[in-house]
Structure 1
């Protein structure tokens, strides 16, 4: 934010020589978008070549086949989907998407720092002068990223035809949800704009992020425990594929790319509605109905089909408890003594977290193969209803409980002055 308040140079402080020219915002945004997309694409191309060599020591095909596979993986991480022998596969490997999202965030932060000196300063913005620095940087960032996506899609096309429209949609989603806030934060504009918002709204967003992050961690822990319990089944699946060392490594990488999807499936299970692994299947605390499954080791974490133990119904208590604890932890850092503000922070933040988790859960599903495997993923609307309810109630209770504790342990002003 201090970069928005440059001191005017005087005769004593002005450096000798001509003033360095700053690059236009459009150029900086375009370069940042190209770098964000190109860096992750190059990594995927390299992994594709390594995977091609590990699969059969380079006996069949050529290195360009591995590069094409890496490009298709990069496109799949952006929701392109594939059509293999007339069968659509649009399940997004969110592990690759998470890596791309992290690169988008970091490059956008640096872009914000680079454009921080452009446009009006903090005083002129406070006086009402319009500032188009962040919108211009974000729009050109999207353009640079989209150029790489379109060119890659056109070059990687063939028998396995990726779709360009979903890639542009995911690019826009990454730009709006990650790049735009990062540019605003890096340039200092976010601090200025946030000062005009009510405190309850700012702390409500902090609460939502805390609830969502804590619940995702708990869901990942539950997934890890379930996988370790059935580790023998996973090893049995891998052995039945008769893979060598190189192919086993590739299989592990593919399974790792779908761990975030499985984490969101685990969270949907904890919320109650559960998810499906194929048509006419159900995995929930109340019932588990499964059919024939592919030999994919990550599926070993699924519970056994048939009657479920009575205690599994108690897992629906976990989401509101997590929301209450996360809300209390956030409010401990940013205390309040007002009952209404504590309630609004907790309940509002929980509701926002519920919508955010439902969006992620909806993005985690899709078609994973032909036939009954065309339906894999959480039940979107049911997850939304349960997430908003559980997180909202848990956040409300956590906010009220921490408000009571802070009011009870606060020191009166007269005593503090004495």
Structure 2
């Protein structure tokens, strides 16, 4: 019966996938791609470790290999390994380096998908139900190549004092390469276009809208964080002055702040949703109340509001999440128009639910232990962030979708064709 289904619509000229360039050895290409993706972020991390070693005391203590070891441990930490510093467990992940790794994996995965796109059955055979293992095979070998680099790095860089977790590193590698790398291979090989053509249009529209909500909301949270840092600039400068750092050490500290900026952005997004986050045990930072204890001397913490009741302006920031969701969904529904109210409501609420889930997962990755004692509990309140996100993004998505549908019903000819 599947042979009676219409072939997927082509939006671009057909590409010949039967030539030798698209039928290269899958195992060799996927393994090399995994090794290259890991090395593309490992090498800059090693270089950064050497630069940091030199900036700390101009190379007066230790040797360059110590800087290389620090850079390798930093790379492992960006893959969730955690590390021990003076006997204290640090599990927070520098998400800037993790994000860079995800971008590299995506780009390499796209190239790998294009190179192996000639393997397996063609589009018509896939439509007829023939099993296609091209994406799964390439992704599996890609994971093995990346994991081999991670295991080798752990073997050479780990010490009893630092004790990064190999099991957690491999878990992160598998998730990163399967979710991001596997998705890129599916897109690059053309399989994603074939598979998605059989999904309901409402689901595709909701996924696109959810992705836009998360992206736009991250930008809004970053803007709020930036404004808060500007308003607290004198406090940040005072922190740097009290540390009495040398110029080289100050540059290194600023670099650490840059690596943690995505973490702070997700903290800011959790704050805007309402539940907020903790900066130590028995603390909370929300738009309605702030309870803080003693804090370490770190410039990014200058952006935190003062302890006590907050102003009405802070409470007004709670309007940002539903507003962003409404605008993002409205913009998306102009590309995926529908004249049915029930379909519009399903798309808007579904987009909000998916966006809330995605942001909650990112928020869970942003926290962790950053020091001893109280500082072992730092991060957003993830479950509350999920609940508030479902409500605020869902309401905003519903409003934006209904407004787009009302506009389409008034002037259907003005809406662009559905892609």
TM-score range normalised by the length of the shorter chain:
over 0.9
State the match for 2:3 in structure 1. none
- CA RMSD for the aligned pairs? 1.8
The answer on whether the counterparts of 1:3 and 1:117 sit within 8 Å (CA) in structure 2 is: no
Q: Which moved more, 1:226-235 or 1:244-253?
A: 244-253
Could you report, residue by residue, the CA deviation over 1:355-413 in whole angstroms, capped at 9, with x for unpaired residues? 0000000110100000100000001111110011111111011101110011112249x
1:35 maps onto 2:45 in alignment = no
State the match for 2:243 in structure 1. 241
Alignment partner of 1:274 out of 276, 281, 285: 276
**Distance in 1 of aligned mates of 2:211 and 2:299:** 31
Structure 1 pair 101/264, CA: closer, same or farther in 2 (3 Å)? same
Structure 1 pair 79/20, CA: closer, same or farther in 2 (3 Å)? closer
1:374 maps onto 2:376 in alignment = yes
Instruction: Normalising by structure 2, report the TM-score.
Output: 0.93
The answer on whether the counterparts of 1:4 and 1:122 sit within 8 Å (CA) in structure 2 is: no
Q: Which moved more, 1:221-230 or 1:400-409?
A: 400-409
Query: Aligned pair count?
Result: 403
Structure 1 pair 3/186, CA: closer, same or farther in 2 (3 Å)? farther
Structure 1 pair 195/309, CA: closer, same or farther in 2 (3 Å)? same
The answer on whether the counterparts of 1:112 and 1:184 sit within 8 Å (CA) in structure 2 is: yes
State the match for 1:104 in structure 2. 105
State the match for 1:186 in structure 2. 188
* Structure 1 residues not aligned, in runs of 5+: 10-18, 413-418
> Could you tell me how far 1:20 is from its partner in structure 2?
8.0
**Distance in 2 of aligned mates of 1:96 and 1:169:** 17
State the match for 2:53 in structure 1. 52
The answer on whether the counterparts of 2:23 and 2:116 sit within 8 Å (CA) in structure 1 is: no
State the match for 1:114 in structure 2. 115
The answer on whether the counterparts of 1:5 and 1:122 sit within 8 Å (CA) in structure 2 is: no
**Distance in 1 of aligned mates of 2:265 and 2:236:** 17
The answer on whether the counterparts of 1:4 and 1:188 sit within 8 Å (CA) in structure 2 is: no
**Distance in 2 of aligned mates of 1:189 and 1:87:** 46
State the match for 1:88 in structure 2. 89
Structure 1 pair 20/107, CA: closer, same or farther in 2 (3 Å)? closer
Structure 1 pair 411/103, CA: closer, same or farther in 2 (3 Å)? closer
Structure 1 pair 21/248, CA: closer, same or farther in 2 (3 Å)? closer
State the match for 2:7 in structure 1. none
State the match for 2:217 in structure 1. 215
**Distance in 1 of aligned mates of 2:94 and 2:181:** 20
Could you report, residue by residue, the CA deviation over 1:279-318 in whole angstroms, capped at 9, with x for unpaired residues? 1111001110111111110111101112211332222221
State the match for 2:364 in structure 1. 362
Q: Secondary structure at the match of 2:296?
A: coil
State the match for 1:201 in structure 2. 203
**Distance in 2 of aligned mates of 1:21 and 1:204:** 33
Q: Which moved more, 1:304-313 or 1:342-351?
A: 304-313
**Distance in 2 of aligned mates of 1:242 and 1:218:** 34
**Distance in 2 of aligned mates of 1:8 and 1:287:** 63
Structure 1 pair 3/127, CA: closer, same or farther in 2 (3 Å)? farther
The answer on whether the counterparts of 2:348 and 2:394 sit within 8 Å (CA) in structure 1 is: yes
**Distance in 2 of aligned mates of 1:95 and 1:20:** 35
**Distance in 2 of aligned mates of 1:95 and 1:233:** 24
Structure 1 pair 346/78, CA: closer, same or farther in 2 (3 Å)? same
Structure 1 pair 142/8, CA: closer, same or farther in 2 (3 Å)? closer
**Distance in 2 of aligned mates of 1:326 and 1:79:** 31
State the match for 1:155 in structure 2. 156
